Structure 1
Amino acid sequence: MSGTGGDRLAKDVPPRARDLADPDRSRDTPVLRLESVRKTYGSSVVLRDIALDVPAHTVTALIGASGSGKSTLLRCANLLEEIDDGAIFLDGEDITDPRADQDAVRRRIGVVFQAYNLFPHMTVLDNITLAPRRVHGVPRGEAEERARELLARLGLADRAAEYPDRLSGGQQQRVAILRAVATRPRLLLLDEVTAALDPELVGEVLSVVRDLKEQGMTMVIATHEMAFARDVADQVCFLDAGVILERGTPAEVFGAPAEQRTRDFLRRITEAGRL
């Protein structure tokens, strides 16, 4: 993917991401807040008393070994998993309250998984426009116009009529991200979006994420790409055995980690040539 991705996306930033002085929301209220969140599967505790604030227009990177709870945290934040204790707030609203409209909540949160999850029987254009049309009530013509603009800015205009199995892995993941962005989400959750890609395709997907960061999209990213997390994140959380063991700026966590478990993890990553 060329380095002009930022220019391509700059004219199509979701209004909520662009509007830094949103009169309907306090600047002091984080977009996402987790308070004492606990999640178990049977006797196994997957998340332990998780507390996390994600301010507007920032990127939070979740790092840690496989099985540390990163993906589960994202699934709980999007209400795909029911928490056992604690509370989760979206723009100050307790979305884990049983009275909360979960469908309405999910309409405000975009999610991209590592397995793309594109509908194989639908074209690229139909994949991107499905949620805006069916969930958000956007007229077909308007939804398709926006989708074509997004595709054009990422060099995928000629792929609109293709089916997912005709695309490379990197192209499929870029379409998956565009599908999430097309709904103009308040919050974007990315779960290991490069894990299923060949190494040469990772860069083009990370470039899209970097563009969204530059345009002010609020994101929480679970990733094994340590160099990317160091470069793009505003805060980094190291998860270990379901606990946020350490958090701070990239300089703090990667440059001077306070916890021995963090140091051990980063040492292994560095020895493997991934940082």
Structure 2
Amino acid sequence: MLLEIKDVRKAFGDQVILDGLDLGVAEHEVVALIGASGSGKSTLLRCVNLLTEIDDGTIHLDGEEISDPRIDPDAVRRRIGLVFQSYNLFPHMTVLENITLAPVRVHRRPAKEAEAQARQWLERVGLADKAGSYPDRLSGGQQQRAAIVRALVNSPRLLLLDEVTSALDPELVGEVLTMIRDLKGEGVTMVLATHEMGFAKQVADRVAFLDGGRVLEQGPPEQVLGDPVEARTRQFLARIIEAGRL
């Protein structure tokens, strides 16, 4: 397994968010996390990226325990890309400057090399003509694609996507989902938290339903989303269908 999460627990005060959660992700696999708000999806992604410290359990990446307090979190984050639902692009920097900031400042790569790679990625996602634009001149879908490129430019072993379409207008969702589908075709390992059940069904190799801070049910999309075993999963999906989101 590329990523192994074992018996991970996290609480904020008296509120238990992750309650002995187990999950494994193989290389080149795409795993979609689904579940109601507050089920622990975003917290889990933040724990994997070491933005949130776990209370108990272990997280391994490529066989290395990255949850060990002695580990250098910055070194780990160089191997993991994380994209939030809010794009988090620096407004005073152009798209190209946003994308090359970490490779040049943090990873000490030559500026010309970082810029060349950034332009290659922008070309691939249809943003080559936006390299010199500032974020406020881009649509939401374009900003989110730029944010994903920023996470990919360092060639991470693992890409984490946290509700990356939830802040977008409906007509802009498709362009971001197309990009993620293309990344899957290129073998990028991804864990994505999503409310887009139709998309999870199309792109995920496996769907994991989180409830009460645990993975209650997981399996192929057609099984979990089409014929779930657990009553709680069926209840959740019934509400999704009622809302017209599946």
TM-score class, shorter: over 0.9
> How far apart, CA to CA, are the structure 2 residues paired with 1:47 and 1:75?
12
Secondary structure of residue in 2 paired with 1:178: helix
Q: Match for residue 37 of structure 2?
A: 66
CA shift, 1:153, in A, is 2.0
> How far apart, CA to CA, are the structure 2 residues paired with 1:32 and 1:193?
21
2:10 paired with 1:39: yes
Q: Match for residue 15 of structure 1?
A: none
CA shift, 1:270, in A, is 1.1
> How far apart, CA to CA, are the structure 1 residues paired with 2:55 and 2:171?
40
Deviations along 1:49-100, one digit per CA (max 9) or x if unpaired, are 0111000000010001111110000000100000000010000100111221
> How far apart, CA to CA, are the structure 1 residues paired with 2:74 and 2:150?
17
> How far apart, CA to CA, are the structure 1 residues paired with 2:126 and 2:204?
26
CA shift, 1:243, in A, is 1.5
> How far apart, CA to CA, are the structure 2 residues paired with 1:153 and 1:187?
19
The match for 1:119 among 86, 90, 94 is 90
> How far apart, CA to CA, are the structure 1 residues paired with 2:222 and 2:150?
32
Deviations along 1:207-230, one digit per CA (max 9) or x if unpaired, are 110011010000000000000001
Which 5+ residue runs of structure 2 have no aligned equivalent?
none
**Aligned amino acid, residue 117 of structure 1:** N
CA shift, 1:175, in A, is 0.1
> How far apart, CA to CA, are the structure 2 residues paired with 1:154 and 1:237?
28
**Aligned amino acid, residue 139 of structure 1:** P
Q: Match for residue 8 of structure 1?
A: none
Alignment RMSD: 0.8
Q: Match for residue 164 of structure 1?
A: 135
Q: What is the count of residue pairs matched by the alignment?
A: 246
Secondary structure of residue in 1 paired with 2:151: helix
> How far apart, CA to CA, are the structure 1 residues paired with 2:123 and 2:61?
32
2:196 paired with 1:225: yes
> How far apart, CA to CA, are the structure 1 residues paired with 2:66 and 2:117?
29
> How far apart, CA to CA, are the structure 1 residues paired with 2:77 and 2:18?
21
TM-score, normalising length from structure 1? 0.88
Moved more, 147-156 or 232-241: 147-156
The match for 1:206 among 171, 177, 188 is 177
Secondary structure of residue in 1 paired with 2:87: coil
Which 5+ residue runs of structure 1 have no aligned equivalent?
1-29
Q: Match for residue 251 of structure 1?
A: 222
> How far apart, CA to CA, are the structure 2 residues paired with 1:251 and 1:273?
18
Percent of paired sites with the same residue: 68
2:80 paired with 1:109: yes
Secondary structure of residue in 1 paired with 2:225: helix
TM-score, normalising length from structure 2? 0.98
Task: Say if 1:107 and 1:135, in contact at 8 Å, map to a contact too.
Answer: no
Q: Match for residue 207 of structure 2?
A: 236
